[in-house]
């Protein structure tokens, strides 16, 4: 969230995230290393043109190839090895984006390589009651959703476009270098 707002400000875009009444990350204080009520109460301005994390629904729509989807099990293929880094082909560690095939939208590495943070709080019951059109996730929770899968998981557990996981959000500085990243998006106008 801090990176998204700082990049938005640097490019003259309207920041998306507000913490403690401010969109300026310099006023948010340090990134927390444990649960923090101010950071957990972050709000997202869906009308802003700045950078943000995708919702889980946006992430999956993109991973499936959007309106150009061919219904693949993995993002861009039914053959996981052609589109995903995992423990069967990883050669240890995160790989350069784009070294496997892209999906129908020309997007790389949505199946494997690293898990990717989404905006949504995790709630396995949410989609039973969510809006059908462009759901933005539960209002609160303890864990944020991540999608895709990481290089050190096996192909059965990490690569399908439906694969999901979750982590507590304050562990980002401790997990990200190993197996967790993020992909930015902006609201289409």
Per-residue pLDDT of 28-61, as tens digits, reads 999 888 889 999 999 999 999 999 999 999 999 9
Per-residue pLDDT at 92 exceeds 80: no
Per-residue pLDDT at 181 exceeds 70: yes
Mean pLDDT of the chain: 89
More confident residue, 93 or 90: 93
Strand partners, 121: 144
Per-residue pLDDT at 183 exceeds 60: yes
Q: What is the model's pLDDT at position 45?
A: 97
C-alpha span between 140 and 8 (Å, rounded) = 24
C-alpha span between 186 and 179 (Å, rounded) = 24
Domain boundaries, the chain: 1-52, 53-186
CATH fold for the domain made of 53-186: 3.90.1580
The contacts of residue 27 (CB under 8 Å, 6+ apart) are: 20
The pTM of the full predicted model, rounded to 2 decimals, is: 0.91
């Amino acid at each position: 969230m801090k990176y998204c707002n700082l990049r938005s400000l640097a490019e003259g875009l309207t920041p998306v995230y507000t913490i403690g009444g401010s969109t300026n990350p310099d006023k948010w204080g340090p990134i927390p290393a444990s649960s923090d009520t101010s950071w957990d109460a972050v709000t997202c301005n869906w009308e802003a043109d700045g950078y943000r994390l995708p919702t889980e629904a946006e992430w999956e729509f993109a991973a499936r190839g959007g309106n150009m989807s061919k219904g693949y099990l993995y993002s861009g293929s039914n053959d996981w090895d052609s589109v995903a880094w995992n423990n069967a082909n990883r050669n240890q560690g995160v790989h350069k984006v784009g070294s496997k095939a892209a999906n129908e939208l020309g997007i790389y590495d949505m199946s494997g390589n690293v898990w990717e943070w989404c905006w949504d709080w995790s709630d396995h019951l949410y989609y039973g009651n969510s809006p059908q059109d462009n759901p933005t996730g539960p209002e609160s929770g303890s864990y944020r959703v991540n999608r895709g899968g990481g290089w050190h998981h096996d192909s059965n557990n990490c690569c399908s476009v439906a694969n999901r996981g979750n982590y507590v959000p304050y562990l980002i500085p401790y997990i990200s270098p190993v197996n967790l990243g993020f992909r930015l998006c902006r609201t289409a106008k």
